[in-house]
Amino acid sequence: MPSPEVGQASTYGPGYAGLIAVPRRGRWLVQIVWHGRYVIRATNDYGPDRRLFPNRVIDLDVATFQALSGQSWTRGILRSVTVVYLRYLGA
């Protein structure tokens, strides 16, 4: 199981959550923590391009981003999120 990751989270698109540290076809259940708020989310995409965004660890859908930020923002960056891998869901 991958180790927890700390870095930035960004918005991606409706219904998507993607991680860089897992296999492209793998789906993981993850917990994302930011300033005491957290969500548990399944991933369904590959995640941010580390060549372009070296500090980003996860892309979030807008609803998850809003739940963590407590704001109605539809775009932005959450700094210093922690992603904890809970279990593998399969391909």
Structure tokens at 18: 């993607």
pTM of the model: 0.81
Segment 34-66, tens digit of pLDDT: 888 988 888 877 778 788 889 988 888 888 888
The domains found in the chain, sorted by start residue, are 5-90 (2.40.40.10)
**Which of 52, 51, 78, 47 is closest to 64 using CA atoms?**
78
Share of the chain above pLDDT 70, in %: 84
DSSP code for 32:
E
CA-CA-CA-CA torsion sign (18, 23, 25, 29): negative
* CA pair distance 10, 26, nearest whole angstrom: 20
Structure tokens at 71: 């704001």
Mean pLDDT across 18-38? 74
